[in-house]
Amino acid sequence: RVPRQVKSMLTKETKPHIQELSVKTTIISRYAFTAVSCTMLNRHSSAAEGVFQFLIPKNAYVSNFTMIIGGRVYPSEVRPKEKKVKQGKGDEAKPKNKEKGEQSEPEVEVFRMGASIPGRNRAMFMLTYEELLQRRLGRYEHVTSLRPLQLVSRLSVDVTIVDHSTITHLEVLPLRNGKSNTAVASGASAAKTPAKPALPISTVIKQNKTFCRITFSPNIVQQAKITTSGMLGEFVVHYDVERELGIGDIQVLNGHFVHYFAPKDLPVVPKNVVFVIDTSASMLGTKIKQTKDALFTILRDLRPGDRFNFVSFSNRIKVWQPNRLVPVTPLNVRDAKKFIYMLQPTGGTDINGGIQTGSSLLSGYLNADPDANHHSVSLIIFLTDGRPTVGELQSPSILSNARTAVKEQFCVFTIGMGNDVDYRLLERMALENCGMMRRIHEDSDASTMLKGFYDEIGTPLLSDIRVNYTEDSVQYVTQHLFTNYFNGSEIVIAGKLTNQSADSLHVQVTASNSDKSIILETDVALRQREVETERHVKEAAAGVGSGDTGVGTTGSVADDFVERVWGFLSVKEGLRSRLKSQTSREREGHTQQATDLSLTYHFLTPLTSLVVEKPQVLADGTMAEDTPTPTPVPTETNKKAASANELSDETEGEEDTAQGLHLKKDQPGGQSSRITKTTGKVVKRPVQKSITISKTSADGD
Amino acid sequence: PHFVVEFPLSKLTVCFNINGEPGHILRMVSDHKHSGVTVNGKLIGAPAPAGSHKQQRTYFSTITIVVNRPKRSYIEVTPKKVILDGQDRLVLSCDTTVSVESGGLAVTIVGKSTVTVTIGGTIRFVILVHQYKNPAPYQRNHLGFYISNSKGLSHDCHGLLGQFLYEEVGLAELSGNATATGDHSTSSRSPILKVKGRSVPVVQKTRRIYSGRQSVDCWFARNNAAKLIDGQYEDYVVSHLFDTGDWP
């Protein structure tokens, strides 16, 4: 029974009501296809603005978006983004502010589309996006944001995981920002432990060895018990799969391959680590407290073979143990704790000074005895909450100085805390020095996040990893040289097969670990792999195919999932290279390449825009006869992308500021059986008549 | 895929197989310079049926038609959908019956059955959609490509099918009573097909077309249509689905 309060709330609602919101995700071997379908009803006789809003993960690319309003189909198109003329000096201040705003974004992006819905009519919004789930801390995380901003009559989330390997761990977390049950399943027995029916939110897990399906479909009353605002939170699924000891898992499909490499049971490589910590005045309060908490915890986790040191920077640079890295002994750890405890925020931010001091400590140690450190991993962990205000202030100079100081001897991992950080600087610094960058948002638990980041990189297992495939058998292979492989992570490489008739592909992985160089190699039977890959694509299609009423998540796109993984990785790589490029020519080349790939795979990236035709609704609430020309989708992501374009070269095109949702190709032009009209084309039911077909043909078996 | 070519003037039908590799894109019709039409087909692979010693099978997974006039349009057909890229993009499901007309171009889909593309009223291609409900391991959803009307294609048309549209062929060196409809089992010598001044040994076979609804007796040219087609079949492999390059 729907409580009176809920009924009353729905009656009072003036904006179009969301009748159905369906989110279907199919994860085939870490590659997630998500299709969102949202049906809105305008109960009133006059036209009303329906706003479809959905949060997508930052790492994902939108691949399609389509609307059906008043029986007409409005598909979208991914186009290259038009270059804008640089703004005059008077406008140059604006991007900085925008940039600042962008940097405070969460790990999701808002896709928003508003459209007029004719009176007493429905609108259907369909959105698809794709992402390659990254393995972090020994698991993959898939997040579905459920913030429809109102109670929804039929709400469903459907996550299907199909993997080539056995699913070893599966966990559905409570809704983030909401109260929900947690259903935990592990191994094949999970099917016997469904969520408790008495719990307010229904989560059902069906699982076998390599397949699992999780459905979450709270009814309107259950939603109201969590929140009446429609801000349910994030539905999070964690899982992991069995990993091989050898070269890893290679999947082959339609002339492409993807290689997942995450060996287990390897000894830990000792590390040399220098923590470079911002102690400027802005760190005062919670930030420094949480940073100290995290560092205390990290100190406990250092291993006996590790060596470490601390640098703090503000106006002044302080080094805990001058000119050396010290081994992890109880005495050293105790002294380090004292140093951390005594850190007092004051003054400005000398980023250049901090990096230079940290680098000289580390390179001094490495150069003193190169042989002794041959089998260790060296890194700087750099944390700041602000922009450079003291010493060198120009980002290009800071980056150039960092490159010169690092000399490719070690990697720099950067962490930014809060809204006032030059994240582009940190990202470039990390990218140029084989590291990674992480953001800690203003209101986040910095202690946990900092420790979490350290956990990701704190256990190096291999260094100098080189993955080779049979010469002349592959081409367009994505990054295959890696400085480090950390426990709990995964290396993913994809490429095209040049010789598809070859029976096997020779794969060789060379790397160094704690005391030796290792070579892993094997011949992969291509045909067999292809059959296996096809089989589990079919399983995925079968798993979501039955009763699938929304936008299909698998279908033909999934049939080419290996190629799409390659496309996805290649676009990411192109954008990274673009960010790292030193000359405008180099940058143009990467831009062109990444744009072409984005268009080929219909990815909405910082280099492309999504254009969709919008319906015209007359004042009386009916649809206009003529449809306007397509216009760019006014999504948050596109707005950000547009603003990114207005930035100077230095700040333009940040990879993760303008993600693309991707509209799936299976679009519903044919879903409407009535007469419809789109720009320049008339879509109608055909008159069925017999057509003479000649015998001249090419057909299958 | 199996190719069938009808020579109405010669009252002969010739057939051949192209055992391409999965991922290959074959040039079927190439008349870019004159009528502005190009048709390519992408192959997908499937293993040979269990117990047989045959090669893996290949099917058409995608057929693309590039039309250059009056407006440039790209049509991409898969067993699931048809994508029309012209001034704007339209994606139609192959499961639904629908017709789209724009300028001189018409695309008609009969749900789960055929996609007919008509260009300027004088060129018509019919694409059969083969969808399996319970496919065997060696079966894949695929497409069949049929030329329904070729009047608008020029005499310079090329491609695996296009090169034969205005050709005549003849049979020679038939031994015994073997003819196109006769018993060839007693013959020890292969009949020879004369085409474009070349001699191609052929044997008689029967092919099922139109989703198996019709059988056609044809003269079969072996070895990926060696000598029958200009050059070798590899010469018809193009770099991408929308390649419109002409025959050299």
Residue among A254, A683, A692 whose CB faces B22 most closely:
A254
Of B127, B126, B98, B130, the C-alpha closest to B111 is B98
Instruction: Read off the amino acid at residue A180.
Output: S
On whether the CB atoms of residues A146 and A223 are closer than 8 A, the answer is no
CB pairs under 8 A between A and B: 184
- Token digits for A125? 């919004």
Instruction: Provide, as residue numbers in chain B, all residues whose Cβ is less than 8 Å from the Cβ of A691.
Output: 114, 116, 124, 126, 148
- Mutation to test the A interface, candidates B2, B89, B211, most A Cβ within 10 Å: B89
Instruction: Provide, as residue numbers in chain B, all residues whose Cβ is less than 8 Å from the Cβ of A665.
Output: 81, 83, 91
Average pLDDT for A554-568: 79
**Helix and strand counts by DSSP (H, E) for chain A:** 14, 35
A690 to chain B, closest Cα gap in Å: 11
A555 to chain B, closest Cα gap in Å: 8
| Residue A701 confidence (pLDDT) | 58
Whether cis (ω within 30° of 0) applies to the bond prior to A460 is no
Checking if the pLDDT of A456 tops 90, the result is yes
Average pLDDT for A470-474: 86
Instruction: Provide, as residue numbers in chain B, all residues whose Cβ is less than 8 Å from the Cβ of A610.
Output: none
Checking if the pLDDT of A9 tops 70, the result is no
- Token digits for A469? 């495939």
B103 to chain A, closest Cα gap in Å: 8
| Residue A245 confidence (pLDDT) | 66
Q: Where is average pLDDT lowest: A613-622, B3-12, B25-34, B193-202?
A: A613-622
Instruction: Provide, as residue numbers in chain B, all residues whose Cβ is less than 8 Å from the Cβ of A76.
Output: 89
- Look up residue A458 and give its DSSP letter: S
Average pLDDT for A46-50: 82
Identify the closest residue of chain B to A697 by CA–CA distance: B146
Checking if the pLDDT of A185 tops 80, the result is no
State which H helix or E strand residue A67 sits in. strand A61-69
Residue among A681, A697, A699 whose CB faces B102 most closely:
A681
3-class SS string, chain B: CEEEEEECCCCEEEEEECCCCCCCEEEEEEECCCCCEEEEEEEEEECCCCCCCCCCEEEEEEEEEEECCCCCEEEEECCCEEEEECCCEEEEECCCCEEEEECCEEEEEECCCEEEEEECCCEEEEEEEECCCCCCCCCCCEEEEEEEECCCCCCCCECCCHHHCCCCEEEECCCCCCCCCCCCCCCCCCCEEEECCEEEEEEEEEEEECCCCEEEEEEEEHHHHCCCCCCCHHHHEECCCCCCCCCC
- Token digits for A590? 């990467």
| Residue B26 confidence (pLDDT) | 94
Instruction: Report the percent of chain A where pLDDT is more than 70.
Output: 76
Averaged pLDDT score across all residues of chain A = 79
State which H helix or E strand residue A220 sits in. helix A220-226
Residue among A500, A630, A693 whose CB faces B21 most closely:
A500
Residue among A670, A671, A682 whose CB faces B101 most closely:
A682
- Mutation to test the A interface, candidates B59, B85, B92, most A Cβ within 10 Å: B92
Do A673 and B92 make contact, defined as CB atoms within 8 angstroms? Answer: no
Instruction: Provide, as residue numbers in chain A, all residues whose Cβ is less than 8 Å from the Cβ of B145.
Output: 697-699
- Token digits for B223? 């070895």
Do A698 and B164 make contact, defined as CB atoms within 8 angstroms? Answer: no
Identify the closest residue of chain B to A554 by CA–CA distance: B80
Q: How far apart are CA A53 and CA A522, in angstroms?
A: 48
Residues in chain B: 248
Average pLDDT for A55-61: 93
Between B42 and A514, the more confident residue is: B42
| Residue A648 confidence (pLDDT) | 30
Average pLDDT for A663-691: 35
- Cβ neighbors of A155 (< 8 A, separation 6 or more) are A20, A21, A22, A146, A148, A217, A218, A219, A220, A223
For A389-432, how does the pLDDT look when each residue is reduced to its tens digit (9 = 90+)? Answer: 999 999 999 999 999 999 989 999 999 998 889 999 999 999 99
On whether the CB atoms of residues A669 and B90 are closer than 8 A, the answer is yes
For B97-144, how does the pLDDT look when each residue is reduced to its tens digit (9 = 90+)? Answer: 777 777 788 888 887 888 999 998 899 999 999 988 888 888 889 999
Q: How far apart are CA A603 and CA A62, in angstroms?
A: 6
A473 to chain B, closest Cα gap in Å: 14
Residue among A681, A695, A696 whose CB faces B100 most closely:
A681
A117 to chain B, closest Cα gap in Å: 21
| Residue B175 confidence (pLDDT) | 52
On whether the CB atoms of residues A60 and A127 are closer than 8 A, the answer is no
Q: How confident is the model at residue A124 (pLDDT cuts 50, 70, 90)?
A: very high
Do A691 and B209 make contact, defined as CB atoms within 8 angstroms? Answer: no
For B147-167, how does the pLDDT look when each residue is reduced to its tens digit (9 = 90+)? Answer: 989 999 999 999 999 999 988
- Mutation to test the B interface, candidates A64, A66, A534, A699, most B Cβ within 10 Å: A699
| Residue A632 confidence (pLDDT) | 53
Instruction: Read off the amino acid at residue A374.
Output: H
- Mutation to test the A interface, candidates B6, B39, B88, most A Cβ within 10 Å: B88
Do A698 and B28 make contact, defined as CB atoms within 8 angstroms? Answer: yes
Q: How confident is the model at residue B186 (pLDDT cuts 50, 70, 90)?
A: very low
Do B59 and A700 make contact, defined as CB atoms within 8 angstroms? Answer: yes
Instruction: Provide, as residue numbers in chain A, all residues whose Cβ is less than 8 Å from the Cβ of B97.
Output: 670, 673, 685-686, 688
Residue among A255, A613, A668 whose CB faces B22 most closely:
A255
A314 to chain B, closest Cα gap in Å: 55
| Residue A182 confidence (pLDDT) | 39
- Token digits for A571? 């676009």
Of A447, A457, A434, the C-alpha closest to A306 is A457
Per DSSP, the residues of A183-200 read EEE-SGGGGG-PPPTTSS
The complex's ipTM works out to 0.88
Of B162, B225, B234, the C-alpha closest to B193 is B225
On whether the CB atoms of residues B74 and B107 are closer than 8 A, the answer is no
Indicate left, alpha or beta for A70 from its phi (over 0: left) and psi (-120 to 50: alpha). left
State which H helix or E strand residue A333 sits in. helix A330-341
| Residue B110 confidence (pLDDT) | 80
Q: How far apart are CA A337 and CA A326, in angstroms?
A: 14
Do B2 and A700 make contact, defined as CB atoms within 8 angstroms? Answer: yes
Q: How confident is the model at residue B84 (pLDDT cuts 50, 70, 90)?
A: confident
Residue among A76, A667, A700 whose CB faces B130 most closely:
A700
Sheet containing strand A256-261, edge to edge, reads: A249-253, A256-261, A491-497, A474-475
Do B87 and A679 make contact, defined as CB atoms within 8 angstroms? Answer: yes
Residue among A665, A688, A700 whose CB faces B91 most closely:
A665
Q: How confident is the model at residue A654 (pLDDT cuts 50, 70, 90)?
A: very low
Dihedral angle over CA of B191, B196, B198, B202, nearest 10: -30
Instruction: Provide, as residue numbers in chain B, all residues whose Cβ is less than 8 Å from the Cβ of A255.
Output: 22-23
Average pLDDT for A545-550: 41
| Residue A445 confidence (pLDDT) | 86
Do B126 and A698 make contact, defined as CB atoms within 8 angstroms? Answer: no
Q: How confident is the model at residue A132 (pLDDT cuts 50, 70, 90)?
A: very high
- Token digits for A295? 């560092």
